[in-house]
Amino acid sequence: MKKSIDSYVLFFREVNRLEQKNDPTVELVEDETVDANGEQQEAETTEEVIEEVVTEEQQKMNELEKQVQGLNEKLLRVHADYDNLRRRTKSEKEAAAKYRAQSLVEELLPVLDNFERALQVTVEQDETKSLLQGMEMVYRQLHDALTKEGVEVIPAEGELFDPHLHQAVMQIDSPDHEKNQVVEELQKGYRLKDRVIRPSMVKVNA
């Protein structure tokens, strides 16, 4: 009897399984499950693609930022070089304008020296005196013209020796002068504004 009951139970279980298998509702649920899994996989694939695209775009942005930073640095360097060049050019132009007469002054200094030596000559004849007076007039005009250009005589005799202004060609021992004091000026020195054109040749007390 128990064996018959077990057989009936197994029979009904098999019938129930077959009914579930053939039931459209069950199939629909299975299809929906499959569709849900497919959509989930597709969504995951789409997210991965988006992440890859975002990553690539971020890398491009980083590269562009590096390029922009490099260009900014180059621009700053070019701007700094331009400022330095502009300041240097301005300084050179100002110096050229300030010392524009330097070459001419250097050419005229020996002329002044010759005039001064000639004016130191002692004369007695009236004709020679008149000639000397004319030379003195020319000398003063030349001297005044150079003074207007900023040419100055460098003080020497009685001054303390300055290697930037004086050129010592002789040394003596003089109790009447201080140490390193200029005893005598052998040749006048000149400067154009604040630039020494020719230092004074002097005799210095040791």
Strand partners, 171: 204
Average pLDDT of the segment spanning 50-70: 82
Name the most confidently modeled range: 46-50, 104-108, 122-126: 104-108
pLDDT, averaged across the chain:
81
31 has a pLDDT exceeding 80: no
Average pLDDT of the segment spanning 33-49: 59
Report residue 202 as tokens: 């002097």
* CA 196 – CA 189 distance, rounded (Å): 8
Cβ(190)–Cβ(201) under 8 Å? no
20 has a pLDDT exceeding 60: no
The rounded Cα 50 to chain-centroid distance in angstroms is 48
- The three-point CA angle 50-51-57 to 5° equals 90
pTM of the model: 0.57
* Whole-number pLDDT of residue 148: 93
* Whole-number pLDDT of residue 38: 55
Q: For the chain, give every domain's residue range.
A: 2-28+49-96, 99-205
Nearest to 143 by CA among 114, 182, 185, 165: 114
* Whole-number pLDDT of residue 29: 43
Query: Class for domain 99-205, per CATH?
Result: mainly beta
Average pLDDT of the segment spanning 171-194: 93
Report residue 85 as tokens: 């060049």
183 has a pLDDT exceeding 50: yes
Other Cβ atoms less than 10 A from the Cβ of 116: the count is 13
* Whole-number pLDDT of residue 15: 53
150 has a pLDDT exceeding 60: yes
Of 1-10, 70-79, 80-89, 110-119, least confident by mean pLDDT is 1-10
Beta strand 166-172 with 200-205 is parallel
Other Cβ atoms less than 10 A from the Cβ of 101: the count is 18
Other Cβ atoms less than 10 A from the Cβ of 167: the count is 16
When pLDDT is cut at 50, 70 and 90, the band that residue 26 belongs to is very low
